[in-house]
Amino acid sequence: MPNNSNPTKRGGSNPQIGEVMSKLHLFSNARAMQSFMQSQERGFLPKCMLLGEFFAEVIVVRGKVKIPSFLRKIFLIEVLKEFNFTQKDLELLFFERNFLGFLETSPFLLQFFNELNQHKLSIKDIPQKDIYGDYEDHLRVLEEIEERYEQKLGDRGFYDFAKEYEILDEYLSAFREIEIYLDGFLSPYEKEILEKISSKVPLFFHLNIDRYNQKHFEFLCKLEPDYSYKISFPSGEIVEKIPHRLLALPKAYGCELRVEQCSFVLQRIEEWLEEGIEAEKIAVILPKEDFKDFLLATDRVRNLNFAMGFEYEGLKKEIETLALQEGGGLEEFIQRVRECEIPQSLGVSIDEILYAYERIGEVMRTLSFKEIAYLFLEEIENLRLDDSKGGKVRVVGVLETRGMELERAIIVDFNQENIPKITQSDMFLNSKIRSALSIPTLQDREELQKHYYLEIFKRTQRVELVYIEGHLAPFAKEVGVKSFERNNYTLFAKGKEIVYKEDEITLFLDREFRFSASNVKMFRECKRKFYWRYLKKLKESEEEGSVALSVGSLLHHFLFLAYSQNPSGAKEVFERLVFEEIERGSDELVKMELGLALRYMQHFFKIQSKNPKILELEREFEFMSEGFRLWGRVDRIEEIEGRVRVLDYKLGKSNTIEPIQSAFYGLYAREKYPSFPVEVGFYFINGKKLCLDNKLEEHIAELKTLLKEMIEEREFEKCTTRSSCRECIYKILCNR
């Protein structure tokens, strides 16, 4: 007798079970699917899947299988290692010709290829108007890399993106209806697949529409904001339309410090639990995941459960140690990993990666032991341990809130720099090109994130926002938030109030003081800051410099070496030094900025004399001028057509001359070369512009006046504009 009790088959022995199981529910994310299933009444749960998993099941590419995500980099790296890059290609794409360089670059390339495929575009479709001169060569290289990558996958029986596919009718035959709960963009490629499926099974979209996502679904039919829809696809027939509005306007609370927000969060949770709100219906939402460190440190009773989990540093450290050792290759690496202490919850994920490595052993054996270790480190970077010891109040990121129904929620860090916060990680397509290709732009992604926040407000009975005072996100007022209060909770008992007492000025300048452009400029901007720094000698702590400072220092040094070694061939020497630094450097941002600066410097060398008469390079000077001891350093002094020119290199784009610095240079050059007329110039590297100081006499006169004022100064008053105090390291001393 045949067994007809299988509930997944249409027409099973139990009509009610068959009815439930023959309708498929698809979701954009796991959290929305989980919330949907928890909301169901007792009995058989409906058939639910993630949309991505459904596509993987229903799409067939004959003779090939979908490549696991963690193997994609391996095949792309193999292509990059074999690719015959010219020096120009390397300069265009900032590739390093080594394994670690390719490993770091591969995610950008894979993201780029995937996004074009999702929008049914090829690299040839990218417009080449209004772009920089080498863009066509840039695209040619990318196109060839993609072709070789797809060919290499095909040779191994894999595919990454199913450009030619079939719909598996047998799989669809189990369902009489498919309902899709969308919360995000739908790409042209996904629309194409769903249109083909809709010809075989009735298909419906569930959408929550607001002003931020309305235009993205206008391809269906005319939609109104603040409604939930059920729409037949692709006909666009509206099956259901229900109001979907704010349950209540959020309230906003200001804090002075990030850690102070924790006092508000913990106190509110305690109050809500005492009111009888279920812990599972409360959430703390983090626009930036690093805020969890503050919550971990202050949640002493462990009410919180961190949905994002925790990194397992133990395994990473063991693999990092392996990467420093010599080994015998793939087999030994796998054996050494299995000897590591691996938590049970991560065991399956680790086994999947190692099994995949064994499956493509022929490719993996071309890598060294160290390269395999670095590759493995990349793959386990995002593995997380569940928060098994936490409470029931969930701490989640914004994306994890999609589909959640809550009674209470607190969103911390509701600051303008976080909301919306979109990482611009695309190396290849700017917003103008994206718009021309109908690919979501940065603005589109910002609006999508606003949609996610608005959904939190609409799905939660009460939402409270916490922000740093003076930094509230404009989005709060955009959605109508009107209640703004000060956070009165505190983590610590209030300390004894300290009454500020003005410092007595006891130190003054004399003629032995070494005046420099920087300290004179500081005196002009804020006399009290000058007093703290140069008379009281309260220096800022030594910290690692910014990227701009690092790049600027390197460029100055390379220009010094280039013109010292070979003034007539300085361009070639400079380029060689920059390329060597890019090759051996470890900071990717510094290397990228160096590559950009190298392009901009082409203009500098074009306007230089072929045989410059260099008088001084990177020279420190000190001399007396009208009784004042002046000190500084010049980048370069040269003789040009009977004139002496002092030249200062600036990394930025600005063409604004610094008058005090110019005056120092002018006075020094006149002291050193009294028989020559003197001029001072500034070359702005990123701005590709040489600016000569046409008001040198006026600036020298201003400097002399300032020097006399500094000697006579007795009050050292604070600056009148408090805005400049915000980033000042002495603001506490000044009670600002």
pLDDT in tens, 443-461: 888 999 999 999 999 999 9
Higher pLDDT, 311 or 682: 682
In this prediction, residue 492 carries a pLDDT of 64
Q: Read off the pTM.
A: 0.66
Written as one letter, the residue type at 302 is: R
383-404 average pLDDT score: 86
* Region 707-726 average pLDDT: 87
Region 495-519: mean pLDDT is 83
Above 50 in pLDDT, residue 7? Answer: no
Asked whether the predicted pLDDT for residue 99 surpasses 80, the reply is: no
How do beta strands 678-684 and 628-640 pair?
Answer: unpaired
Mean pLDDT of the region 261-285: 93
- With CA atoms as reference, report the closest residue to 66 among 406, 325, 356, 447: 356
pLDDT digits (tens, 9 = 90+) for 340-364: 888 888 888 888 888 888 888 888 8
Does residue 132 register a pLDDT over 60? no
Q: Output DSSP code: residue 728.
A: -
pLDDT of residue 511: 79
Distances (CA, A) of 37 to 207, 307, 399, 405: 18, 18, 18, 12
pLDDT of residue 453: 94
Helix (H) or strand (E) holding 698, with range, is helix 696-712
Q: Is the pLDDT of residue 187 over 80?
A: yes
pLDDT of residue 86: 67
- The pLDDT, as a whole number, for residue 568 is 87
Evaluate whether 177 touches 103 at the Cβ level (below 8 Å). Answer: no
Higher pLDDT residue, 453 or 582?
A: 453
Model confidence over 290-342: pLDDT tens digits? 899 999 989 888 889 998 888 888 888 888 887 777 777 888 888 888 888 88
Residue 9 pLDDT > 90:
no
Query: Do residues 323 and 374 make contact, with C-beta atoms less than 8 angstroms apart?
Result: yes
Cα separation, 399 vs 491, whole angstroms: 29
pLDDT at 95 > cutoff 60:
no
Examine the pLDDT at 88 and tell me if it is beyond 70.
Answer: no
Predicted confidence at residue 8, as pLDDT, reads 37
The yes-or-no verdict on residue 2 having pLDDT over 50 is no
Distance (Å, whole) CA 674 – CA 676: 6
- Residue 404 has a pLDDT of 86
* Contact indicator for 334, 369 with CB cutoff of 8 Å: no
φ and ψ of 171, to 5 deg? -70, -40
Pick the more confident residue, 88 or 371: 371
Half-sphere exposure of 465 (CA within 13 A, CB side): 32
Over the stretch 693-710, which tens digit does the pLDDT of each residue have?
A: 999 999 999 999 999 999
Residue type, 456: I
Show the tokens assigned to 29.
């994310």
Across 55-71, average pLDDT: 89
> What's the mean pLDDT when you consider all of the chain?
86
**Alpha helix segments (H runs only) across 566-681:** 570-584, 588-606, 659-672
Residues in the chain: 736
Q: Could you report the per-residue pLDDT of 215-251, keeping only the tens digit for each?
A: 999 899 999 999 999 999 999 999 999 999 998 899 9
Instruction: Determine the pLDDT at residue 579.
Output: 87
Choice between 70 and 255, residue whose per-residue pLDDT is larger = 255
Average pLDDT over residues 54-79: 89
Token pair for residue 634? 């010049």
Is a pLDDT exceeding 90 seen at residue 46?
A: no
Q: What is the SS3 assignment for 277-335?
A: CCHHHEEEEECCHHHHHHHHHHCCCCCEEECCCEECHHHHHHHHHHHCCCCCCHHHHHH
Average pLDDT, stretch 207-214? 94
Report percent pLDDT > 70 for the chain.
Answer: 91
